Amino acid sequence: MKNLEIYKLLDCPILIGTSRKSFINAVHSTKKDAKNRIGGSIASVLVALSNGADLIRVHDVAETVEAVRIFEAIRSAK
């Protein structure tokens, strides 16, 4: 996700689907099952959007929408 801007050169939408993925456990000291990875899932979505993702695929829609709305409000309040 760090280098999404490279894919923007292809001039096509970028879809990211990191929701509940096992890589989220890599940063946790206690391993969580997929349903309990919402914090990491939301964090990865916000990073993806910050780095140019156009579309996101998630399991926890309501929670992610709330986080993205807050994120966008903060980002646009410069």
Q: What is the pLDDT of residue 13?
A: 95
- pLDDT tens, residue by residue, 67-77: 999 999 999 99
Q: What is the model's pLDDT at position 1?
A: 75
Domain ranges for the chain: 4-76
pTM score, whole prediction: 0.83
Q: Who wins on pLDDT, 1 or 12? A: 12
Exposed/middle/buried for residue 18 (C-beta within 10 Å: 0-12, 13-18, 19+): buried
Residues with a catalytic annotation lie at: 21, 57
Q: Are 41 and 59 in contact (CB under 8 A)?
A: yes
What pLDDT digit, counting tens, does each position of 27-63 carry? Answer: 766 676 777 788 889 999 999 999 999 999 999 999 9
